A and B are shown apart, each in its own frame.
Chain A
Amino acid sequence: MRSVLTRWLGAGLAAALAVITLVLAVTGRIGLYINPDGAWFAIGMAVVVLVGTALSFVLPLGAEDDHGHDHGEVHHDDHAHHAHERRVSPGALAAVAGGVLASGVVVTMLALPPASLSAELAASRDVGAPPLFAGSDVVSLASTGDTSKFGVGDWAAVFATATNPDAFEGDAVTLTGFVSGDTDGGFDLSRLVITHCVIDAQPARLAISADAAPPSTGQWVTVSGTVRATGSGQLAIVAEQVTPIDEPSDPYEY
């Protein structure tokens, strides 16, 4: 029993996570958790973990901590002693509790469907600092012309750092994101931007001015409109059309 548990807490937990990784990759949803650009490494090593786990079944149960037994009585006694100590010490209790907790977490992960982060979490992460995800590359790219592939994150970086706002005046944009609050004469459009994995997700936010009543907070929308420099030299997006949509299958920008 003990050796089965040992295997579960090591290779078992690792294999469960490797299975999750591979299922997500095969069904095209790995982007919900990590940047798809780096997924090849996660996928490759998940295969290694699964191959190792499958092969380890060849090793008899308990083989990995039994080797000392052939080395004479001294070692044997030593081990028995250790095992006995472990069973009663507070450290042993902690180890059991840790094992139960870790198993619970992984089983929960197996049982719950893949999900994206909620709009509430995005809002709680928004600390007002302008996002500068890729350094200054985006801004220099933007001033050289092609902004058709720009997302909310790119534009937020441009808006925060552009030194010559006029260069963007009149650019047509079509952006997808969720509504993160009302403003005077419009609303804020947000999207979470990921560098590596969801834990580093940072909200990017753009001010949208629109005539119609703003959609409710958390609603996903597609906005088409034009970039305008306001009187104070700030950039804003004037919406021509705001269409409510379902949450897209790729809710993040990378």
Chain B
Amino acid sequence: MALSLGLALIVVMAAIYIFAPQLLPADVPTRLQDGVTLALSVLIESLPFVALGVVLSILVQVWLPAGVLERWMPRRAWARRAVLSLLGMIVPVCECGNVPFARGLLMRGFSVSETMTFLIAAPIVNPIVIITTHQAFGFSDGILIARLVGGYAVANLIGWLYSRHPSPDALLTDRFRATCEVVVHERGGRGRRSLAQFLVELRAVMPALVIGSALAGAVQVLVPRNALLAIGSNPVLSIVAMMALAIVVSICSNIDAFFALSFASTFTPGSLVAFLVTGPLVDVKMIALLRTTFSTRALVGIVTTVLLFAFALGAVVNLLA
């Protein structure tokens, strides 16, 4: 009975999507239509990764026996973080899917700074990103190496900084702490707990994902790209411009190298590296997603650290290249 209600709702939504456009007036302003198209494309692209992240989070939280992950972890805090920042090499999620997966790690008892380290390293230090960045740039100008080493380093830097925080719980949102309490004390069969986790995680991530994607779409149709790119060859301003572009465009880290490649002829190599390090970690979509779990203060700290680090890295590459 309940199941058929669920199915009925899905059919109704499909009917709305198929028939509503024919009933409504077709004159939508071009910019609004473009913004919706862009936002929807980001959502269609990222939904499967979010779903995969939720599934993995359920696996980690509900199905993996206690101690299995923990047994493999080194004892020392810095070594644990160093290992966790390589977890992205074997966990097949991209930046959007990382957030629900990282929440699963937190609920399982990993510390806040350890989880942050994973969350910030994984979008860059993962096989798909390495392959696509290599396809785009090869080893020219050290862009690939700078990106990988930079991503790994900034993740461990942030993990180390926040491991010194006196009360790590204050880095999380009240809402997420409440969720943790509920989940940890949950009872019932594994199937039931899996379904509950499915609902809890989607509830946490979906509104942020939708708003982040809508923002990304809106910014793209409202901010003229020329305004950012007029300053491509200046060694300092070009870095700032590419970082601003990275925050604005919210392209998945799996393929942002191809996007960056089209700027290679007009922009400095350092600015491309800054773009490739900034985008996966703190673009508008990602900030909205991180806000589901981390407090505003913690988020400001993370964003500031990443931006300063990316700028410094870009400047060093420009000096050496």
Contact = CB atoms under 8 A, between A and B. Distances in A.
A121 B223 CA distance: 11
B68 interface: no
A174 interface: no
Contacts of B47: 14, 17-18, 21, 42, 45-46, 49
A185 interface: no
B79 interface: no
B42 A118 contact: no
Contact of B200 (A64, A68, A78, A132): A64
A133 B261 CA distance: 8
Nearest to A13: B206
Interface string A118-142: 1011001101111111110000000
B32 to A, nearest CB: 9
Interface residues of A, number: 88
Contacts of A111: 16, 20-21, 24
B25 to A, nearest CB: 11
B198 interface: yes
Contact of B40 (A48, A85, A109): A109
Interface stretch (B106-114, B179-187, B313-321): B179-187
A42 B208 CA distance: 19
A199 interface: yes
Contacts of B196: 59, 63-64, 67
Given A10-B204, A44-B48, A115-B33, A55 B181 contact: no
B6 interface: yes
B27 to A, nearest CB: 11
B221 to A, nearest CB: 7
A41 B135 CA distance: 22
B181 A14 contact: no
A56 B214 CA distance: 27
B16 A105 contact: no
Q: Is the interface of A mostly helix, strand, loop or mixed?
A: helix
Q: Is the interface of B mostly helix, strand, loop or mixed?
A: helix
B90 interface: no
B51 A48 contact: yes
Interface residues of B, number: 90
Nearest to A119: B30
Contacts of A233: none
Contacts of B201: 10
B203 A121 contact: no
A33 B51 contact: no
A98 B173 CA distance: 16
Given A23-B14, A128-B266, 20 more contacts: A6-B203, A14-B50, A33-B37, A45-B51, A48-B51, A49-B47, A54-B7, A59-B195, A64-B200, A86-B174, A110-B13, A110-B17, A115-B37, A116-B37, A118-B34, A127-B229, A197-B44, A197-B45, A200-B258, A202-B259
Interface of A: 6-7, 9-11, 13-24, 30, 32-34, 41-42, 44-46, 48-50, 52-59, 63-65, 67-68, 70-71, 75, 78-79, 82, 85-86, 91, 95, 98-99, 101-102, 105-106, 108-113, 115-118, 120-121, 124-125, 127-135, 195-200, 202
Interface of B: 2-3, 5-7, 9-10, 13-14, 16-18, 20-21, 24, 26, 28, 30, 33-34, 36-45, 47-52, 55, 135-136, 174-175, 178, 181-182, 185-188, 192, 195-208, 210-211, 213-214, 216-217, 220-221, 224-226, 229, 249-252, 254-256, 258-259, 261-266
